[in-house]
Structure 1
């Protein structure tokens, strides 16, 4: 009986030891998935944060030198003039709705077209499995910095067409699959510029830009084309 008890106790200890060894990699994997917010982020994310910081500084410098103010939120000559609160609320609603439509079209293209699936794979390979914190950070910084620079600072000075073309030019293709991305960015630049001009505030383009990037980055992480 004592020998049997010792054997059972030994088996239990070995099972617990094996279980501990197998659980540690899972804990490490969960910890790695939770990293982000610049210090624990991938190199592309850190580079993007630096780029968006430079864009934000450039936007403030441009508008201060050109118009003698740091107010780049409001268009100096909008199509329609709304009270600030009404324009802000309406712009956020319009921007989110517009962004959801564009994100849905992007998902449709990935599932239904070869060029969409190819571009999706390129982004997945470039960005990897981004944690939620990095997705939120990238979506916010890209929306705020790019809209402040291209719409808030440049558009009132150089015009809608030139600002939209420069916005598309910023999204230069690194290979042939990314050419579609450059074209999409140029077309989207015209749409975001029109929202800024029509509403007189950056609320709509910033909300739209954030929604598009937030939805699409989550989609890039979770979906793999067949």
Structure 2
């Protein structure tokens, strides 16, 4: 009991959330995305979620396309967010600020990215996009992530960049497949989480 208490005090002092807690958060989020996806498919689609995987390239080609797209997307976003107008407002976005303060381990980055990529893409691209289209889905996606702020040109530019990224995932789903969108999202996330959390 004393060891656990002392460990908790260390975590509080360091400002670092333990990997176990990040993993629990990821699993809970994934379960929520999965549950909502199933409800959307049940009430608004004629087929189940498995059908969302049924179009596009072969699995291996989807993975290659997705990973390549994730690398390219993260390079473009990294360049964009390091421009003066955007870089000075990034801490106004809760997700960015939290990642910067959390000092994520490599395992944290990998598992957060995997579960976010799989869960969010199944919901937004697999379940919602066929009903609402790429653009409306992207508005919902970016809005729920808290990236729409209109305080300054930097805020607007960042929101627009993230909207473009979401739309890109939407097109990837349409033309390559759901696994491509998932792997692109996960690849983008793992690269950006590492870059942002290890920023000096």
Give TM class, smaller chain. 0.7 to 0.9
**Which aligned pairs between 1:55-204 and structure 2 lie closer than 5 A?**
55-65=33-43, 66-74=45-53, 82=57, 87-119=58-90, 125-127=97-99, 128=101, 129-173=103-147, 176=151, 179-199=156-176, 201-204=177-180
Checking the alignment, whether the CA contact within 8 Å between 2:134 and 2:167 is kept in structure 1 is yes
Aligned to 1:207: 183
What is aligned with 1:37?
Answer: 20
Seen in structure 2, the aligned counterparts of structure 1 residues 183 and 56 have a Cα distance that, compared at 3 Å, is farther
C-alpha change, 1:109 and 1:117, in structure 2 (3 Å) is: farther
**Ranges in structure 2 where 5+ consecutive residues have no aligned partner:** 1-9
Structure 1's 180 and 195: CA in aligned 2 closer, same or farther, altered over 3 A?
same
Alignment check: 8 A CA contact 2:81 2:158 kept: no
Q: What RMSD over aligned residues (CA atoms) do the two structures have, in Å?
A: 2.9
Long gaps (5+) in structure 1: 1-27
Work out the number of aligned pairs and report it.
181
1:110 is displaced (CA, Å) by 3.7
Aligned counterparts of 2:17 and 2:140: Cα–Cα separation in 1: 35
- Evaluate the alpha carbon distance shift between residue 171 and residue 198 of structure 1 in structure 2; reply closer, same or farther with a 3 A threshold: same
Deviations 1:170-210 (A, max 9, x none): 122486476544333321221111111112x2121111101
Q: Distance in 1 between matches of 2:167 and 2:96?
A: 27
The runs of at least 4 consecutive aligned structure 1 residues that moved more than 6 Å come to none
